[in-house]
Structure formats: structure tokens, C-alpha cells
Amino acid sequence: MKSILLSVIIFFGFLSVSLAQYVIKGKVTDIETGDPIPFASVILKGTKVGITTDFEGNYTISTSVKADSLQVSYVGYISQSKPVVYSQTILINFQLVPSTFNLSEFVFESGENPAFPIIRKAVEMKEKFDKRNLTAYESENYTKIELDLDEVEGAFKERNQVKKVIAVMDSIKQLTNDEGKKILPVFFSETYSKFYFRTDPLLKKEVIENSKLSGVGITDGTTVSQITGSAFQEYNFYRNWLTIVEKEFVSPIADGWKTFYDYDLMDSVMVGEDFCYMLKVYPLREQDLAFTGTIWIKKEDYALKQVDLTIPKSANLNFIERIKIQQELVATDAGPLLPSKTRVLIKISKITENTVGLLAKFYNSGQNFIVNNPKPPSFYFQAIQLKEDFGKGTEEFWQSVRPEQLSDQEIVSRQMVDTLSRIPVIRFYSEGIKFLGTGFLPVGKVDLGPWTGLLNYNNVEGLRLGAGLRTNLKFSNKYVLSGYLAYGFADNQVKYFLSGTKILDRKRWTTIQLNTQREIDQVGLEIENLSLNSIFLAASRFGTLNKPYYAKYYRLITQREVFKGFNLTAGFTRKEFDPVFDFNYLDETTGTYQSRFDLAQVNLGIRYGKDEVNIINDNYRVSLGPVKWPVFDFRFTQGLNSLGGDINYQKYVLSVYQKLNLGLIGVSRYELRSGFVRGTVPYPLLENHIGNETIFYTTVAFNLMNFNEFASDRFASLSYRHSFEGFGLNWIPLIKKLKWRAVANANVLWGSVSDKNLMNSSDLDEEGNPIPAFGRLDQDLPYIEVGYGIENIFKFFRVDFFHRLTYLDNPGANSFGVKVSAQIIL
């Protein structure tokens, strides 16, 4: 009996051992960036027991099967195995090394690629699953951003200032990339927001409920918080083209997918509760703006389940070594898909060996989706809004809204950012960079600058020295005071600008400003007209000035955003025109020629941008530009022969600007401009079309027109610019390695001027007889110039070749010209 009992105990003992459940868990990350690797295959080697990692790179395997080692593999990474030491709970983490995927690894047999029917069906089903088919949706979003200086090594590391930083960092755990090179975090943010989207009319709104950020050079978080939310982290692969870093990339399930991609059916796998096709995608031409990576398409309805896509270094981009996008999508009750989690990595390479690279990491998680419940259009008035108690979230709050707690590396990164921002040498350099970028240096409650006005030299003023300042948000969030003072040592004249602004309403951006200014200006190159092209403006004020005059202004300006995208500006201007060059105009009241005049003007402006995005930068509103629709701008001026004014006239100007994303063939930009002047006026009040006699290319001028060659009282112009973004040149074997990009230009101007306005303003010949001071366009013959060129030469330079097609008999006209410029583009 004892023998039988002992045998039973031994049997069940062996049975319990054989059926023992082991739990193996861990996390799979990228050794280069420390980011999780979702969708990786984790399997007990030699068995069929395995699982894929979730979006955070985590895995858990519960099994009674034993194996000597655990293997992790994923396309784009070198597989890795680790031994398993069995206990009740086993923790095994993996750090995978990126590898290069080669097209030659796949060989297709005759017949249709088996991946093609799957992609074809997924494209057919796009209409059903595209989130743009929802009337509206809203979600609660958590967004995390980290910026790191990458590869802090070599000559850069040996600089004295950098050594001081590294010494301070030794007290904190060092972060390294896969080659053991130091990474220095410089920015870390977390944002919790509510995002709202409406389809008809197309409107977006994000309410930033809380934001927690720290960064080198960040003195006030309100401005930065407006661009760290989810509104700028949208990636919809159901669109044919996705905008990333201001470039257009073709989706793997675009309508014209066969033109750009090839595919390979890798496997059929379970992803959560869905059986999916796993497909490898890669561009047909390595330099196209297209993705390589893996997509998962549900077998049941051909909806996208998840994507893991990379834009490789070979793509025609500057400075960017890699862009990686991982996204997980969920179905809504209405059918269309919404992204539940998105992770983006942008790696910017070192420009030279003595510099550093940059890692930008973005993570966004959406939850609690509500669909097809649109808010009234008025709700979306302010596209980005900070909640009233913004920034008051406790650590307990952040722990409750994070989809996953911060990793050890992220905690260290945040500590390092806080430490770096307090190091004097870092603060010195960060403030210096901001000074060069913005033109102003913050000092307490004022900003000193701009630096572009500190030193100048021209034939009228000689050496010119100046200095200025403006108040900032620390001084007041309702009042802005600004001004500058300058002195020319040749003309012995003082120039100045004084301004006071009151912000009446920050939500509907309403301001009123009063300013006065005395400055030297140029006919056709006025400061007001060139304020948005600061480089060309600064260049035009060096050397020999073009028909210069002293101008004294008094201005009253008020503006308000009446409704979303619609801005109204009104004001009054008093101006004194005192020329430094030979100038005469006929005063119709006295019948005599005068050399100076005074103006009293009423000004009205209307601007409408349907989808233009604006943010509040301290006490200023900044436009981030339109997304799709054109921007309309109308300006009206009424000159008065009262209130100190000498001339009664009206001037109307309408302009339309739009950026057109044309997919495969690149990006176009056009500007239509038209206007007319009613009344008899001196020619400085006509439309003096901007010429360019320099060797530098600019978009604000007619590049083969001479200064003051033409003026009009009725005109219409078209400026068209196109960048082919590598289209065509990417297909030429030798040229494509240079990553050059073709560009094209066309400028057309129609205009005319009445006889009265032609002769009203005049120069005098040697005998004192009046002669026209400018050229007149034939209303039946437009001025036309066309151009073509190459940009991205050595990543920075651009060369344009222009042909002038009309008015070749004009004095000094050139039928051909070469213009150069430098630019930083991706």
C-alpha cells in the first residue's frame, strides 16, 4: 500500500513539473535610440511557442514548454538570442541593432506578386476606413517629445565648453547610442490635450489641458506648449500623400501604388485578435520620397492594422538620416480607423565631423474617441487653445494620463535636461542661438535688438549705428513698448522708431497700436513692403541706395480676427516724403513743380485664410501658414487732401497666395497680385514694381527687371515657382547620387499708366525740361521672364538661369541672367 501511494506521489510530482507554467517577459528596444520596437517576433528557439511585442515593445509568454534560448527577430534588425534560465518569473530584455534591408534578398517567381491582390483590395477599401469620412471625431491625447544631441564625440567633445558640460553630466547616468557615443538630451515635454476634428467645413481644434516641459533655452512654456500637442503629430496613411517635415511622402496604399512601390508577402500572423497579412514594402527608386518597412493588413476586411515604416537615408532629403513612423490603428463604431498610438523618430545627421547630430522622438496616444458628434463651427474659432488652469498638473496627474510610465532612460533624460538648462555656458550658447534666430536678446523684462539694425553702411548715411529694444511677456501681457534709435555719420541725421501696442483680446487677437518713425527709405524698396523678406531688405540697405528719401511717419493701427481665418486691419497714416534725389511732381493746385509732399491716408486691410494656423508667441501672433486653401489679402488706401495731406487718391491691391502639393512632380507656389490707383499722384505712390539688379535670387522681385524700370497705376502679376523635389533627376544614374533638385520659375506682369501719371512725376533734362522718371508697360504686352535651375547643390546652394522675353530694347535690359542663393532646406 505504501509502495502504491509512493508511486502515485512520484507520478503526480513528475506531472506537475512537466505541466509547470513559466512566465517569460521583457522589453525589446532599439539599441541606437532606446525606443521600443513594436511588432517584433519573440519565440522559444526550436519550438512554435512565441508572441509579438506590443506597441510599447513589451512581451509576455506563459508556457510549460522549455527551450535553451529565446530569439527575437524583426525586419530591419539583426536577430538576437539569449539563454533562458528557468525560474517562476523570467525577465529577458533585448536591444536590437538596426540592419540594412536589401532588395536582392527577395526573388519573385513568374506570375503576379501574391502581395499585389492584397494591396489592390486595401486600396479599394480606403474610402470605408479613411477617418476623413467621419463627420467629426474627438479624442483625449497624450503626447511626449524628446530632443537629443546625438554623437557627442570627436573634436566637438574636446571643446573646452563641451568638456565642462560632460563633467557635470558625469554625476548622472550617461546615455549612449549603439556605438557608445554620448547623447545629451536638450528638450523633454509631456502634453495632455483634447483634440477636435470636423469634416464639413474642415476645422480642427486642440485644447492643451496640461503641459510639462523642460528644455535648454526655454524661458516660457506657453509658446512651445502650443506646438507640442497632437495637432502637429497627425499621420494618415489613407491619404495618398503625407506631409512630414514640410515634404510630401507617398503612402504605401496610395491610389498609384504600383508607380512607387514593390511589396513582398512575408507572413500571416495574429495581431491581437485579428488575423493579418504581414507585407514588406519598399520604393521602386531608392531616392523617391517613399517608405520602406512593414505594414499589417487585416484579412477580414483589408483594413490597416498597424504600420512600421522608415524613410531611409537614400531618400532625396538633406541632413536627415532616418525617419521612422510606427502606428497602431483602431476601428470606430462608424467604421473608419483612428490612430490609437503613433511613434515617430527623426534622426538628423552631423553636418560636419566637428558638429553633432540630433534625435527627435515623438509619441502620441489617443483614447476615449467620440465620432460623428460635430461641434458648432464657432467652437473651432481658436485652432490651438491653452486651458485656463494650464500647467498646474501634479505628478499624480501625469502618472494617471500616461499610457505607460516613463522608462528609466526617459527619467534620466528629463534629469539631464533640467541640469543642462542651469549650466551657465549652456545658457550662454542657447541665448546666443536665439539671439541670432529671432534678432532679439531677452534681458529681464525687455528684449534687446534686432541685431540686423546694429551696423549698416550706405552712400547716404555712411556708417550707421543703431540699437533698439522691446518689452516682453514679463513686463506685461497686455502692453508692448518698442523702439530703436540710429545715427548716420555721413548725413548727420537721427533715425528712430517708437511704438506702443495694447492687446485688447488675445482669443480673437485684437490690438491697437500707435507709432512714430523717422527713417531713410527707397522708392520701390520700402521697408513696409519688404518686411517679410528681411534678408533682401537688409541687402538693399547696404551700398548705393535706390532713389532714397527721408520719411517721417505717424500711424494708428488696429486689427481684429472677426471670425476664424478672417482678419480686419484699419488705421490712419501721416507721412512726410522728403527726397534725397532729384525729384519733381506737378502740384495741380498751384500748377508748379514741387520736390516734396505730405500724405494723410486711411488704410483698410482684409485677410482671409480658411485653414491658416496661428499661434500666440508671447505678445505676438505668428502664422504657421495655410494647409491647403489659398490666402486672400486685400488692401485699400484713401489719400486725403486734408488733415495735413496734399494728395487725394485711392489705391486698391488684392493678392492671392497658395501652396500646391502636386504629389509625384513636386510642390508649386503661386501668387496672383492685382491693383489700381485712382487719381493723379507722384510716381512714388504708384505701384513701383520691384526689380533686382543684384546677383542674388529673390522671390519678391522680378529678377531681370532693373530698379524703377516700370511703374503702373493698373497692374496684374503672376509669380509661379515650382520645385520638382527630385522628380526626373532621381532617375538619372549619375546625377541622382548628388541629390540635386530641378526648379522652375515664371514671372508675368501686365500693367499700364495714364498719361497724366506718366508726366506728373518727372526728372529734368540738362535744359530743365521734364522727362518721365520711369518706364511704362504696354497694356497689350506683358513683361515676362522665365527661369530654371538646380537647388540642393552641396545641400545649401541654388543656381537659377533666367530669360527675359519682352522689353529687351529698354536701356540696360538683359535677356539672360544667372542668380545664386543659399538656403537651408530638407
Whether residue 184 is predicted with pLDDT greater than 80 in this model: the reply is no
Helix (H) and strand (E) counts for the chain? 13, 47
Q: Strand 203-215 to strand 384-386: parallel, antiparallel, or no bridges (unpaired)? A: parallel
Mean pLDDT of 61-89: 85
Ranges of H-type helices in 299-354: none
Q: At what angle do helices 424-438 and 160-169 cross, to 10 degrees?
A: 120
CA distance 274 to 523: 69
Q: Is 301 exposed, middle or buried (0-12, 13-18, 19+ CB in 10 A)?
A: middle
Whether residue 757 is predicted with pLDDT greater than 90 in this model: the reply is no
The three grid cell numbers given for residue 732, joined into one nine-digit string: 538619372
Nearest to 41 by CA among 278, 264, 361, 304: 278
Q: Which residues contact 719 (CB under 8 A, 6 or more apart)?
A: 670, 671, 673, 699, 746, 747
Whether residue 283 is predicted with pLDDT greater than 60 in this model: the reply is yes
pLDDT computed for residue 106 by the predictor: 44
CA distance 372 to 638: 48
Backbone dihedral angles phi then psi of residue 445, each to the nearest 5 degrees: -90, 5
Q: Which residues contact 569 (CB under 8 A, 6 or more apart)?
A: 557, 558, 559, 603, 604, 605, 606, 607
Mean pLDDT of 90-109: 66
For 796-820, the pLDDT digits (tens) are 889 999 999 999 999 889 999 999 8
For 683-694, the pLDDT digits (tens) are 899 999 988 888
Torsion of CA 431, 432, 438, 443, to 10 degrees: 50
Q: Which residue has the cell 532621381?
A: 730
> Cα–Cα–Cα angle for 618, 343, 434, nearest 5°?
30
CA dist 64 → 25, 46, 49, 595, 676 (Å): 14, 14, 10, 100, 85
Task: Return mean pLDDT, the chain.
Answer: 83
Whether residue 282 is predicted with pLDDT greater than 80 in this model: the reply is yes
Mean pLDDT of 254-265: 91
Whether residue 415 is predicted with pLDDT greater than 80 in this model: the reply is no
Q: Strand 94-96 to strand 22-30: parallel, antiparallel, or no bridges (unpaired)? A: parallel
pLDDT computed for residue 225 by the predictor: 56
pLDDT computed for residue 289 by the predictor: 86
What domains sit in the chain, N to C, each tagged with a CATH number? 17-96 (2.60.40.1120), 119-427 (no CATH), 648-826 (no CATH)
Torsion of CA 248, 253, 255, 257, to 10 degrees: 80
For 287-333, the pLDDT digits (tens) are 888 999 999 999 999 999 999 999 887 887 777 888 889 999 999 98
pLDDT computed for residue 167 by the predictor: 61
Percent of the chain predicted with pLDDT > 90 = 36
pLDDT computed for residue 161 by the predictor: 59
For 518-547, the pLDDT digits (tens) are 999 988 888 777 766 666 677 777 888 888
Half-sphere exposure of 246 (CA within 13 A, CB side): 12
Nearest to 94 by CA among 35, 43, 27: 27
pTM (predicted TM-score): 0.75
For 147-174, the pLDDT digits (tens) are 887 766 655 555 665 665 666 555 445 5
CA distance 789 to 500: 45
CA distance 747 to 725: 21
Of the pLDDT bands very low, low, confident and very high (cuts 50, 70, 90), residue 231 is low
pLDDT computed for residue 614 by the predictor: 79
Percent of the chain predicted with pLDDT > 70 = 85
Q: Which residues contact 753 (CB under 8 A, 6 or more apart)?
A: 686, 711, 712, 713, 714, 776, 777
